[in-house]
Amino acid sequence: MRQVPREMDGREVPMVTVHETLAVRVLLGSGARSAVPEEVARLSARRVFLVVTPSASAAGDELAGALGPLLGARFDRPAPHTPVAVTDAAMATAAGADCVVAVGGGSAIGLSKAIAARTGVPQIAVPTTYAGSEATPVLGETSDGVKTTRRDPALAPGVIVYDPDLTVTMPAGLTRTSALNALAHAVEALWAPNATPVTDALATEAVAGILQSLPEVLASPAETAPRARLQSASWLAALCLSQVRMGLHHQLAHVLGGTYGLPHAELHSLLLPHVLAFNLPHSETARTRLAHTIEPIRRLSQAYDGPTTLSALGVPYADLPSVAERVAASPYPNPRELTVPDVTALLEAAW
Ligand code: NAD
């Protein structure tokens, strides 16, 4: 199939569309977590290594009880950005495991992927945020402050269990920023150089679903049905993230997050309206599908009761030009050319 070239400021665009999907079994629905022992049995696993995020310890206890003799060991200290030292500590207790089950956000699932990378064991991911790592073949690990990212289909969990009951404990702030983090995956998919008809469709549905369900969830945080809709829409966004190359938004999140150790979801959430306004005039596909979303996204981002500016996150104003220089020196594929003055102006607006 031939693809109409997108406007990429003179950069090469692929003329042949390639769409690759991962083999994955996905369970969705309230109470789906009770099927985890059956899923373990389907994998013929006999010794589960359970990774649990501290906030999900009740769900971890419940699952540990349900696994009974299938539980080999449990690790409760996953950390953001998958530090190798934490993985080493987990590996020391994972000996003999033939399956990893991770309950938690991107940090717990990152650790699960790191263990799978070292042992080759299959994974069952039970996400409790909207970050989307469970659906991607990407692992970012940090060692001595340096983050290295790799992509390999073998890293992606083969089973995902989306149980909205596990998301009702998310505080309002995390709900909002995590959902906007998911939204960013879908938004960037619409201007990606390797977008496909499938990712365009997934991204469009994901954006509509998140923008509709997030306000419902924020209004009734304990209700499961809106949480289920938000979780499903975030899954579609995660599928976009797994398929296409991310642009300026993710590059800024990586550079700023890595340099200043900033919280992942909050950073995504505050950057998104700025990047959207910056890029939209330069991508016809995204403009057609997203023009009406700029205002709702800006409102959702600004209404967060935590930091909504780079200054509030502690980024020094004087550093903004050097951040822009690093972005412009090796830009991620982006529909608008990334010059130092333009990116500095965007960062100043976000500051
Ligand atoms: P996280 O997993 O670090 O969780 C953030 C905080 O929220 C933690 O304190 C956690 O305990 C708490 N939490 C999680 N679920 C909760 C719930 N249901 N109720 C109450 N509290 C809850 O954060 P995250 O945003 O889910 O993930 C961020 C990490 O994931 C980063 O390291 C990021 O790089 C990585 N990530 C990787 C990919 C990928 O494709 N490789 C994709 C997205 C994110």
> pLDDT for 148-172, tens place per residue?
889 999 999 999 999 999 999 999 9
Q: What range defines the domain where residue 71 resides?
A: 25-167
If you measure from the C-alpha of residue 107 to the centroid of ligand 1, how many angstroms do you get, rounded to a whole number?
5
Name the domain boundary from 167, 192, 226. Answer: 167
Ligand 1 atom nearest 79 alpha carbon: 3
Do 187 and 159 belong together in one domain? no
Ligand 1 atom nearest 130 alpha carbon: 26
Nearest Cα to Cα of residue 183 among 222, 218, 235: 235
14 inside domain: no
> pLDDT for 22-33, tens place per residue?
999 999 999 999
If you measure from the C-alpha of residue 188 to the centroid of ligand 1, how many angstroms do you get, rounded to a whole number?
20
Nearest protein Cα to ligand 1, atom 42 = 133
If you measure from the C-alpha of residue 104 to the centroid of ligand 1, how many angstroms do you get, rounded to a whole number?
7
101 inside domain: yes
If you measure from the C-alpha of residue 80 to the centroid of ligand 1, how many angstroms do you get, rounded to a whole number?
7
Nearest protein Cα to ligand 1, atom 29 = 106
CATH number, residue 127: 3.40.50.1970
Do 163 and 181 belong together in one domain? no
111 inside domain: yes
pLDDT value at residue 336: 97
CA distance 172 to 189: 26
pLDDT value at residue 147: 82
CA distance 228 to 213: 9
Q: Where would I find the beta strands (DSSP E) of 105-226?
A: 123-127, 138-143, 146-151, 159-162
Do 39 and 82 belong together in one domain? yes
Test site for ligand 1: of 57, 133, 151, most ligand atoms within 8 A of the Cβ: 133
> pLDDT for 168-204, tens place per residue?
999 999 999 999 999 999 999 999 999 999 999 999 9
Name the domain boundary from 167, 199, 225. Answer: 167
Nearest Cα to Cα of residue 29 among 325, 245, 228: 228
Do 284 and 309 belong together in one domain? yes
CATH number, residue 200: 1.20.1090.10
CA distance 202 to 200: 6
Number of H-type helices and E-type strands within the chain: 13, 8
If you measure from the C-alpha of residue 90 to the centroid of ligand 1, how many angstroms do you get, rounded to a whole number?
18
346 inside domain: yes
276 inside domain: yes
> pLDDT for 73-111, tens place per residue?
999 999 999 999 999 999 999 989 999 999 999 999 999
Do 177 and 103 belong together in one domain? no
13 inside domain: no
Report the domain count for the chain: 2
Do 258 and 124 belong together in one domain? no
pLDDT > 50? residue 248: yes
pLDDT value at residue 11: 63
